Amino acid sequence: MLNKHESVEKEKPQSNSKKNGVVKNGNGVNGHTLMDFSKIKTGGKFLTNVVGSEKVFCKELFSEEEKMIYEAMKDFATNELLPLSQNELNKKDEKLIRKLVEQMGELGFLGIDVPEKYGGSEMTKTGMCILAEGISFCGSPSFCTVWNVQTSIGSLGIIWYGNDEQKKKWLPGICSGEKIAAFGLTEPEAGSDATNSKTTGVLSDDGKHYIVNGQKIFISNGAWADTFIVALKIDGKFSSIVVEKGTPGFDIGKEEKKMGMEGSSTVPLYFTDCKVPVENLLGNVGDGAGPAFCGLNIGRFKLGASAIGGMMLGMQHAVEYAKSRKAFGQSISDFGSIQDKLATSAILTYTLDSTCYSVIGKQTEAINELDKNDPEYYVKQGNTTEQYIAENSIVKVYGSEAAEELIDHCFQIYGGYGFIEEYPMAQAYRDNRINKIWEGTNEINRMLCGRAMITKALSGEIGFKEYLEKVDVYCNNGLDSGYEGDLKTEVECVEAAKAVYAICLNESLSKHGQDIGTEQVIIENLANILIYAYVGDSTLSRVIQNKDLYVQKNQVVPELCAKVYTAEQGIRVMEYANKILNSIYDGEIPKELESKFAKLSKRLSLSTDTIGLKKIIGEKVVEAGGYPVQSF
C-alpha cells in the first residue's frame, strides 16, 4: 500500500481565461454548458445543501443484516487476530498470514465487491465500510493492510474493468483467500505523479505477449502475492495489466526495513523482458486510469474507515491503564487533564464515524440507481465512486490525522510506559505514521479534494454560481440559513464555514483562473475549510436525525461531541481564510470582503463551554471503559 498514490493531474480544473471567478453566460458557467444536475446523485452537494436537510446514513440505521456483519467481523478481529497482534502478526509469517486470509475467505470477508458467480459475497458499499471498521479491532494495522489491499487496489481493477474470462480466472481465488493480491503503481520516479510511469510494455512480434520492463517499489503484500495489478505505459499510453507470480522475467525483491507496519510485506518488483499474455490487459491500451485510480479512490476511503475500530481500541487501552495507574493517592482517570484527552479522543472517533458512514451512504445510493443488468454495470460502479473523490479524500485525510491525534493522547496517558514496546501504544504510534503517506499523501488528497470541488463548481454540477448568490443574501440577512431546530447555533456555524469556503474559492478563481491548480498552498487551505464543513455537517446531521433515539437510550455524548467539534474547529476556519485572502490581495483585503468576513467570523466563534462539555464526555468515557457511544 505504499504504492497508493494518485496523479494530481487527474482532476485538472477548467477555468475562465479572464480570471474572473464563476461567471454565468448564455452557454452556462465559465463556458460550460449547464445541465439539470438537481436530480443527479453526485459528490460535493453537501456544500450547497443546508445541514440536516438530507437524511444521512449512520450506524443507527443499520439493518439487522448490517449489524450481523459488523459483529461477525468485530468478533473475528477480537478473538482470532487481537491475541496475535503484538507478536505473531509482526513476524511476516507467510504461512500464518495465508491461513488467516483463507479463514476470512471462508467467512465471506474477502469477496465483498465480487459477484456471487465469481465466488464473492457482493455486499453493498456500506457493508464494505462496516468490514473496514470491524477488522481494525484486531490491533494489527499490518494485517489490516493485507485485507485492505486484497479487497481494494489488489482486486477492484479486475472486478470493475476485467472481462468475464479475467474475472473467472482470478476472482474466485482472491475471494477464497487461496490467492493473495497486490497492486504495482509506485516507481522510483513516479509516486504521487503516478501517470509518469517508466515501466513499459511492448507488444511481441507474434502479438501474444507484452514484453514488460521496469520497476515498482513499496508494494504491499508483494512477497506473498499471487496476482499483481500493474500500471505501465504501452505505446506511451497509461494502461493496467495483471501479472502472475512466477512469470518469467518477473522478480520480487527483498523486504524493506520499515519504521512501522512490521508485519506487512513491502517489497520492490522487477520486470526484465517479462512476457505477460495480452489477454491479461485490463480493458484496452490507454485504459489504465480506471483500474488504477478507482481502486485507489475506494482504498483511501477504507483507510479512513479502518481507523475507527483502532481508535476505539486505543481508547479502551488508555482507560484501562488510567484506571489502574495511581498518582497522588488516586487513579489518574480522575484527573481533568486525562479526562480532557479521553474526551477529545471520543470526539475524534464520533466525528470520523459520522463522516465515513455519511460518505459511503451517498455512494451506495448512487450505485443503487445503476442497472445491474447493464453490461457496463461494474465499470459504471467504479466511475460512480469517482464522483465522490472529494468526500473520499476527506475521509482519508481526516481519518489518518484524527487517528494520529488520538494515538498521541493515548500515548501521553500511558506516560513513560507508552514508550515501552511491551505496551500497545508504541506500536500504534509507529504503525499509524504511514497512513498520512500511502493511499496518496495527505497533501495530494487535499489537492484532489480541492480540484474535484473546483471542477464541480465550474461545471455547474453542484449549483455553485447560484449558491454564491445565496451567500450574498446570507451575509446581508443576519447569517440565517433558514434552518429551524435543535443545534441552531452549531448549524449556522457550519453554514458560515461553507460560505467562507465559497467566497474564498471564487476569489481564488478570480485571481488565478486556470492556474489555480498550481497554487497548492491555497488549495490546501481551501481543503481544510471544506474538511471542517463536511465533518461538521455529517456529525450534526446525524445527531439531529437521531435526537429521539439518543434521548431514549440516554446517550448524551453524541450531541456534546457535535457541539465541541463545531466550536473548537470552527474558529480555525477564519485562520485558513485569512491566509488565502492575504495571499490573493497582498494583505490589502477589500473593505467589502472584510465586512462580510467580520460577520462570518462572529458566527464561527461560538461561546460554547467546551471545557465543561469535555469534562462530561471524559467522565462518560471513563465510566464506559472506552468509547461511550452505543449506536445499536
Average pLDDT over residues 200-208: 97
Please indicate, yes or no, if residue 508 is contained in any of the structural domains: yes
Q: What b/e sequence results for 528-562 when a residue is b if at least 16 CB atoms lie within 10 Å of its CB, and e otherwise?
A: bbbbbbbbbbbbbbbbbbbeeebeeeebbbbbbbb
Average pLDDT over residues 602-622: 97
When pLDDT is cut at 50, 70 and 90, the band that residue 196 belongs to is: confident
In this predicted model, what pLDDT tens digit does every residue of 161-182 receive, in sequence order? 999 999 999 999 999 999 999 9
Is pLDDT of 315 > 70? yes
User: Are residues 169 and 187 both part of a single domain?
Assistant: no
The residue out of 249, 280, 311 marking a domain boundary is: 280
The residue out of 280, 309, 332 marking a domain boundary is: 280
Please indicate, yes or no, if residue 123 is contained in any of the structural domains: yes
Where does residue 587 fall: left (phi above 0), alpha (psi -120 to 50 degrees), or beta otherwise? left
In this predicted model, what pLDDT tens digit does every residue of 477-511 receive, in sequence order? 888 888 888 899 999 999 999 999 999 999 999 99
Average pLDDT over residues 588-617: 95
Is pLDDT of 31 > 80? no
Q: Which domain CATH number covers 233? A: 2.40.110.10
CA distance 183 to 174: 13
Q: Provide the pLDDT for residue 19.
A: 45
**H-type alpha helices, 15-155:** 64-76, 94-106, 125-135, 141-151
When pLDDT is cut at 50, 70 and 90, the band that residue 34 belongs to is: very low
3-state DSSP assignment of residue 297: helix
Q: What is the DSSP string of 168-202?
A: HHHHHHHHHTSS-EEEE--BTTBSSSTT----EEE
> 229: domain range?
182-280
Reported residue count of the chain is 632
Average pLDDT over residues 287-305: 87
CA distance 76 to 134: 9
The residue out of 224, 259, 280 marking a domain boundary is: 280
Contact between residue 509 and residue 502 where contact means Cβ atoms under 8 Å apart: no
Please indicate, yes or no, if residue 405 is contained in any of the structural domains: yes
Q: Provide the pLDDT for residue 193.
A: 73
Please indicate, yes or no, if residue 29 is contained in any of the structural domains: no
For the chain, percent of residues with pLDDT exceeding 90: 82
Is pLDDT of 8 > 60? no
Q: How many CB atoms lie within 10 A of CB 611?
A: 11
Average pLDDT over residues 118-146: 94
Q: Nearest CA to 152 among 121, 185, 183?
A: 183
User: Are residues 156 and 270 both part of a single domain?
Assistant: no
User: Are residues 585 and 599 both part of a single domain?
Assistant: yes
User: Are residues 197 and 163 both part of a single domain?
Assistant: no
Q: Provide the pLDDT for residue 38.
A: 56
Contact between residue 115 and residue 289 where contact means Cβ atoms under 8 Å apart: no
CA distance 383 to 397: 22
**H-type alpha helices, 225-376:** 289, 295-324, 336-368
Q: How many CB atoms lie within 10 A of CB 294?
A: 25
3-state DSSP assignment of residue 15: coil
User: Are residues 154 and 193 both part of a single domain?
Assistant: no
In this predicted model, what pLDDT tens digit does every residue of 256-273 receive, in sequence order? 999 999 999 999 999 999
When pLDDT is cut at 50, 70 and 90, the band that residue 209 belongs to is: very high
User: Are residues 435 and 416 both part of a single domain?
Assistant: yes
Q: Which domain CATH number covers 390? A: 1.20.140.10
Average pLDDT over residues 279-286: 96
In this predicted model, what pLDDT tens digit does every residue of 445-465 receive, in sequence order? 999 999 999 999 999 999 999
- Average pLDDT across the chain, whole number: 91
CA distance 76 to 130: 13
CA distance 319 to 218: 36
When pLDDT is cut at 50, 70 and 90, the band that residue 36 belongs to is: low
User: Are residues 69 and 157 both part of a single domain?
Assistant: yes
How many structural domains is the chain composed of?
2
3-state DSSP assignment of residue 122: coil
When pLDDT is cut at 50, 70 and 90, the band that residue 195 belongs to is: confident
CA distance 555 to 620: 10
Structure pTM?
0.91
In this predicted model, what pLDDT tens digit does every residue of 414-457 receive, in sequence order? 999 999 999 999 999 999 999 999 888 999 999 999 999 999 99
User: Are residues 299 and 330 both part of a single domain?
Assistant: yes
Q: Which residue among the candidates 262, 439, 490, 524 is catalytic per the annotation?
A: 439
Look up 443 and say whether it is catalytic: no
User: Are residues 142 and 218 both part of a single domain?
Assistant: no
User: Are residues 317 and 270 both part of a single domain?
Assistant: no
Please indicate, yes or no, if residue 307 is contained in any of the structural domains: yes
Lowest mean pLDDT among 321-325, 369-373, 554-558: 369-373
